[in-house]
Amino acid sequence: MEKIFLIGGSGFIGKNLVNYLSGRYDIFVIDKLIDVNYFLERPAIKTLKIDLVEQKVPEDYPLPDYIINLASIVTAERDISLFDGLISSNLKVLLNLYNRFKDCSQLKLFIQFGSSEEYGNEGVPFIETIREVPNSPYALVKQLTVNTALMLHNNYGFPVMVVRPGNLFGPYQSASKFIPYIITQLKENKQLDVTFCEQKRDFIYVEDFAWCIGKLIEHHSCIIGEIVNVASGISISLREIIEICKANIGSTSLINYGALPYRENEVMDLKCSINKLETIVGHSLHFDIVTRLKTFSCIQ
The β-bridge relationship of strands 26-31 and 46-49 is parallel
CB distance 163 to 111 below 8 Å: yes
What is the Cα–Cα distance from 32 to 49, expressed in whole angstroms?
A: 5
CATH topology of domain 171-201+234-270+289-299: UDP-galactose 4-epimerase; domain 1 (3.90.25)
What is the Cα–Cα distance from 3 to 99, expressed in whole angstroms?
A: 19
Please state which CATH class domain 3-168+204-230 belongs to: alpha beta
Quote the pTM value. 0.94
- Tens-digit pLDDT string for the chain (300 aa): 999 999 999 999 999 999 999 999 999 999 999 999 999 999 999 999 999 999 999 999 999 999 999 988 666 666 667 777 778 788 899 999 999 999 999 999 999 999 999 998 878 899 999 999 988 888 988 999 999 999 999 999 999 999 999 999 999 999 999 999 999 999 999 999 999 999 999 999 999 999 999 999 999 999 999 999 999 999 999 999 999 999 999 999 999 999 999 988 888 999 999 999 999 999 999 999 999 999 999 887
pLDDT score, position 79: 63
Please give the single-letter amino acid code of residue 223.
Answer: I
Q: Which residues contact 281 (CB under 8 A, 6 or more apart)?
A: 212, 215, 219
Q: Which residues pair with 62 in a beta bridge?
A: none
Sequence spans of domains, the chain? 3-168+204-230, 171-201+234-270+289-299
pLDDT score, position 80: 67
pLDDT score, position 76: 60
What is the Cα–Cα distance from 200 to 239, expressed in whole angstroms?
A: 9
What is the Cα–Cα distance from 20 to 217, expressed in whole angstroms?
A: 13
pLDDT score, position 241: 98
Q: Which residues pair with 27 in a beta bridge?
A: 4
DSSP 90: I
pLDDT score, position 123: 83
Backbone angles phi, psi at 256, to 5 degrees: -95, 80
pLDDT score, position 81: 72
Give the angle 226-125-11 at the CA atoms, nearest 5°: 60
What is the Cα–Cα distance from 153 to 147, expressed in whole angstroms?
A: 10
